Amino acid sequence: MPGRLSDPGADTIVPISLESRQPVVLSLRHGVSAPVFRVYISWSRGSLLHVACLRPPSLEPDGAGDDEEEGGKVVEVRLGTGDGGISEAQMRRIAYGSVPPFVELQSWKNSLASLSMMSSSSFRTEKWQYILEYSRKVNELLKTHQIPPDNVIEDPRIIVKLLKETSSLRAAWELMEIFFIDKQSLSWLPERLVDWLEEYDSLVTRTDLTVYSKLVAMQKKLVDFKVIEDNPDYWEAVSSALAVGWLDTVAKLLRLHGSYQLDQLDDRETENGLVEAVAVLILTMPRLCPDLSSEKIGQCYDTKPDFIKAWEKWRGQVSKLERSAYWVQCSHHQTREGLQKLLKILLGNISNLTSATCHWMELLISHLLYTRPFIMGLEGLNNLAQKCQQLKPTAEYNGLMSLLMGILQESPEAVLAECSRTYGPWMVAHGTELLAAGSDYADIQLHEERYNLGSISIEELHWLVYAQVLSSHPLTWQIASTYLAQCPKQGLGLLEFLLYKQPLQHHQGIFKNLDLSRSYDLDNISASIMKIAGMHHWKHGRKGFGIYWLQLARDEVRLNRIAQQLFEFIGRSLSDDSFQQWEGLIELLGTRVGSSGGLEFLHKYRDLKRLLKQVEDGRAVNAARLAAESLVQLMKSPSTPQQFWLPLLYDSVSLLNWKAQPLLRVSETNLLLNKLQDLSMAKMCPGFVDSNLPSHALSSVRLALAKNLGRAILEEC
């Protein structure tokens, strides 16, 4: 490959993993017959690629057989779905679940920023509580679903629980929680790490042996063992489990020892006593833990002085047993050897610890347990970890372990890089909160505005990246808005873009989109969404829906334009009997919400029709008077289309001929006559739409107007 560096470790900033995958070859079945003239490739949503294969344009468009040949085809290609660790659906579930804790934390922070009481001590403790709560909620979310155990009765032969696809993501999150958030419990850091390893030992390496894998292998063989204590594997398993502090596993294993069986043949009293003594010592091992929960084996102490006192006393007991004379009397060779090895581990014999553990992380834990239980500070821990790595070097790259080293080296840059490399955008976007809480230095690093990033902070950058990932999936794009809204610099711009780009075919989707744009006060976006929706519906023949949206968007220009089309569509169908068809649409135009542009005419026209109907029925003079007023209004209004002038007047002939009194004044009648004049002028112009009225319509209107004029003049004299 050109441009590849010969030594990737030397001068690259971001390490390139050497085991970079071979290029993947996908075969496309596009079905376009050769020759393919052009291929266009473009990204669709997420990891979807659109590949358009085109044939050369046919020179003879009417050539034979052109029907069978397609001009080209667009094929969708789905590229690889992640690294198999967490499925996409599961990742989406995590994405949904992490929205509430994220929002809660951010809204608390925002409310605090407005109060500006950053320095007070009550703030600091409150801050810890909030971040701890956030971390706990996210941690809870990363739990894989536990299936309740099938058998209630515990099998004594099950010594280790088989872990069901423990998530590496959760292991990483817990590591960050232990080091960055749980500040108060720093003194019981060793114990927390022991617990952590117990849960996630299978994840520290993918290729090498671990204590966990050893125990799993041992459990499989357990059934075949007749006399368990004769087997060196058994003793190795016990000492390994002890070295990493899995005391309950040790207890279970020791209970399988022959000395606990009732039907013993030989005289094994001394041996039994020794096994029991070691077991008791292991069970009473002092431990420094915050919660003195009963589940934990060993004696728990929550204050350091108590713990030190007990620790010294316990060590004394262990070494006393080691020097005891009973060992000579123990006739069973393997038991003697094995038990003594266990005591050496308890006493912190380095060579024993090294041989009992597999991975350097396990060695580190064994040191924390048996040689340096009082270790304080990350620096000391880091030195110890490096020593362990030298003793048990590993060639394999492991994201989790690199993350741990980054944390121990107190390098937020390394932590961030590992999070992003191994765990992806979700982890970075949410983990920055923990990282920032870890140290002031990290906090500044994350929140400082950087010129080279376009004046945004690293934190904002990662939120933006994560929001991009979310918006690339049709089911998660809506939660992208939550993250974009938190980005002070570029969030809103991208949010506008995101909302603007959403498909608007179905009204549910439009409403969801509008709901978001309104809740972020993006009025111009909601207006354009409504305009787009309006035009979409209009073009697809859903005239009512189209007008509804355009009205809400107050889009006078488009409403006026479509009004012309609508009037042509109406033609004369707006006669009395087919009125009902228009009812729904016209009702819509009567609302004062939004504007109706030129369409307002329809509403007024309908009202006039109704009044005329009442007049015909011979009802009240009032109706006639109102109808006349409305007629004049309509004829005056510039929004009344020309082609409706004559039908309007023809419909109102009965008004003009009203017997009791002239309903129109002289000036009004003149206006109508002028309009009629205009109309006959317009007839000459091209593009004139003739109304399909009977031929005598014009003359009868003229006559009626003239009559009315005469009467009105007499009246007004």
Partner 1 sequence: MAEYGDILHRLPQSKSVDAVRWLSSVSAFDRFVASAVHDPDAALPAAASAIEIHSLILAPSADSSSREHPCLHLRSSWPSSSRISALRSSPTPYKHLAVAASTLSGSLHVLFVDPVDGSIESELSIPNDRSLHAGVVSAIDLLEGGRECVTVGEDGRVNLASIGESRMDYRRVYDSRGLASYTAVRWASPVEFATGGLGFGVQWWDPRKPGGFVSQFTSNWAQGKTTGIVHSIDIHPSRKHICMVGGSAGTVFAWDLRYPQQPILLSGAGGPELLSDIDEVWQVQYDSHTLSSSVNSATSAKLLPVMMCSEEGILAVLEQECYILAANLPHGYRLGYALGASQMIEAMGSDDFSLGLDDYESRTTSHTPVYLLRVTGEEPKRLLQEYCAINSFDIDPQNPSDVVCALEWEAVGILMRPKAGNYASSFGRLPPSFH
Positive or negative torsion for Cα 439, 441, 442, 448: positive
Q: How many CB atoms lie within 10 A of CB 226?
A: 7
Helices within 474-578 (DSSP H only):
477-486, 491-501, 507-519, 523-539, 543-552, 556-570
State the Cα–Cα distance between residues 462 and 31, nearest whole angstrom.
41
With contacts defined by CB under 8 A, name the span among 242-250, 306-314, 503-511, 634-642 that binds partner 1: 503-511
Contact call for residue 548 and partner 1 (CB under 8 A): yes
Burial class (CB in 10 A: 0-12, 13-18, 19+), 505: exposed
Q: Which residues pair with 73 in a beta bridge?
A: 53
Choice between 57 and 474, CB closer to partner 1? 474
State the Cα–Cα distance between residues 468 and 491, nearest whole angstrom.
11
Considering only residues 296, 392, 542, 707, which one is a binding residue for partner 1 as defined by CB under 8 A? 542
**Coil, strand, or helix at residue 68?**
coil
Contact call for residue 576 and partner 1 (CB under 8 A): no
Read off the DSSP letter of residue 303: S
Q: In terms of Cα–Cα distance, which of 423, 382, 383 is closest to 399?
A: 423
Helices within 222-301 (DSSP H only):
232-243, 247-255, 269-283
Contact call for residue 96 and partner 1 (CB under 8 A): yes
State the Cα–Cα distance between residues 242 and 240, nearest whole angstrom.
5
Q: According to CB under 8 A, which residues from 640 to 669 bind partner 1?
A: none
In the shown chain, the binding pattern of residues 594 to 613 toward partner 1, with x for contact by CB under 8 A and - for none, equals x-------------------
- Cα–Cα–Cα angle for 85, 89, 95, rounded to 5 degrees: 90
Buried b (16+ CB within 10 A) or exposed e, 589-600: beeeebbbbbbb
Considering only residues 144, 455, 591, 667, which one is a binding residue for partner 1 as defined by CB under 8 A? 591
Choice between 100 and 273, CB closer to partner 1? 100
Considering only residues 227, 593, 621, 681, which one is a binding residue for partner 1 as defined by CB under 8 A? 593
Q: Which residues pair with 657 in a beta bridge?
A: none
Positive or negative torsion for Cα 432, 436, 439, 444: positive
Contact call for residue 541 and partner 1 (CB under 8 A): yes
With contacts defined by CB under 8 A, name the span among 308-316, 372-380, 410-418, 579-587 that binds partner 1: 579-587
Contact call for residue 584 and partner 1 (CB under 8 A): yes
Considering only residues 506, 572, 619, 636, which one is a binding residue for partner 1 as defined by CB under 8 A? 506
Contact call for residue 592 and partner 1 (CB under 8 A): yes
Token pair, residue 487, equals: 């980005």
- As a residue count, the chain comes to 717
Q: According to CB under 8 A, which residues from 514 to 533 bind partner 1?
A: 514-515, 518-519
Closest separation in Å from C-beta 437 to partner 1? 23
Considering only residues 507, 554, 561, 613, which one is a binding residue for partner 1 as defined by CB under 8 A? 507
Choice between 260 and 511, CB closer to partner 1? 511
Closest separation in Å from C-beta 525 to partner 1? 13
Closest separation in Å from C-beta 581 to partner 1? 6
Contact call for residue 144 and partner 1 (CB under 8 A): no
Closest separation in Å from C-beta 117 to partner 1? 28
Q: According to CB under 8 A, which residues from 171 to 200 bind partner 1?
A: none
Contact call for residue 303 and partner 1 (CB under 8 A): no
Contact call for residue 474 and partner 1 (CB under 8 A): yes
Q: How many CB atoms lie within 10 A of CB 58?
A: 11
Contact footprint for partner 1 (CB under 8 A): 78, 88-90, 92-93, 96, 99-100, 103, 146, 148, 473-475, 478, 505-508, 511-512, 514-515, 518-519, 537, 540-545, 548, 552, 580-585, 587-588, 590-594
